[in-house]
Amino acid sequence: MKKYFSLLIILIVVSCNQTDNSSQNKELDYDINGNWCFLNKSGVYTESFFSKDFFQVYNKYLGMSPEFNYHIVDDTLFSTFSTGKNVKTQKSVLSWLNEDKIILRTGTGADTMERVKVGDYLLGSIDPKIDSLNFSTAFNNRNDNYLVKRGILTKEEVEAFRKSQTIPEDVQEKLKQKK
C-alpha cells in the first residue's frame, strides 16, 4: 500500500512540474507587437505601440515619445534611446498574464498593459501630429471606455465632463483615491 501511495505522490509531482514548464514555454510564444494601453504611475491613461524593433508611448499630457529601440531576451525587454551623444538603456521585466495582458516592471514601478484589439486611428497606423483631430477624438474615446470598464468613472460622469469640460468634485476624489 505504501508503494502505491509513494508512486501516486511521485506522479502528481511530475505532472505538476510538466504543467508549470508548459505554461512557462507558452509565455515565450506571446507577441508584444501592436497597440497597448495602461494607466501610468501618475494614473494617466497611456497608449504604446510596439513594432518589431521599436516602440513609442503617447498620453495627452506628455504627447508622443521618441522611438525607443528594443529587443527581448527571455523575459526581459531592453530598450535604448539615443540623444545623439548619449545612449540610455533601460531594462524591464515582462510578466505575461495572458496574450493580451502583460506587466512591465522597471526600476521605478510596474505598468499592467492591455492589448488594444480594435480601434481607429491607433499609434503605428497614423501620425498623431498629422491627423491630430481624428487621433485625439479616438484616443479620448478609448480613454473614457478604459476608465468606465474598470469602474473608475461611470458613463454618466464621462458625459457630464464632456458637456461641462470640468471634472466634477466627486470624480476628482475618486481619481485621487486611485493613485
Q: Which residue has the higher pLDDT, 17 or 50?
A: 50
Give the per-residue pLDDT at 85. 81
Give the per-residue pLDDT at 78. 94
Give the per-residue pLDDT at 159. 87
Categorize the per-residue pLDDT at 25 as very low, low, confident or very high, splitting at 50, 70 and 90.
Answer: very low
Cell for 127? 501620425
Give the per-residue pLDDT at 153. 87
Dist CA 124 CA 121 (whole Å): 9
Q: Is the pLDDT assigned to residue 22 strictly greater than 90?
A: no
Question: What is this structure's pTM?
Answer: 0.73
Domains and CATH numbers, the chain: 34-178 (2.40.128.20)
Give the per-residue pLDDT at 169. 75
* Mean pLDDT along residues 158-163: 84
pLDDT digits (tens, 9 = 90+) for 83-121: 778 888 899 999 999 999 999 999 889 999 999 988 888
Dist CA 179 CA 167 (whole Å): 16
pLDDT digits (tens, 9 = 90+) for 116-136: 988 888 888 888 888 889 999
Give the per-residue pLDDT at 94. 95
Q: Is the pLDDT assigned to residue 81 strictly greater than 50?
A: yes
Give the per-residue pLDDT at 68. 92
* Mean pLDDT along residues 51-71: 92
Rounded to the nearest integer, the mean pLDDT of the chain is: 80
Of 26-40, 62-76, 136-150, where does mean pLDDT reach its minimum? 26-40
User: CA angle at residue 145 from 62 to 110, to 5 degrees?
Assistant: 50
Percent of the chain residues topping a pLDDT of 90: 43
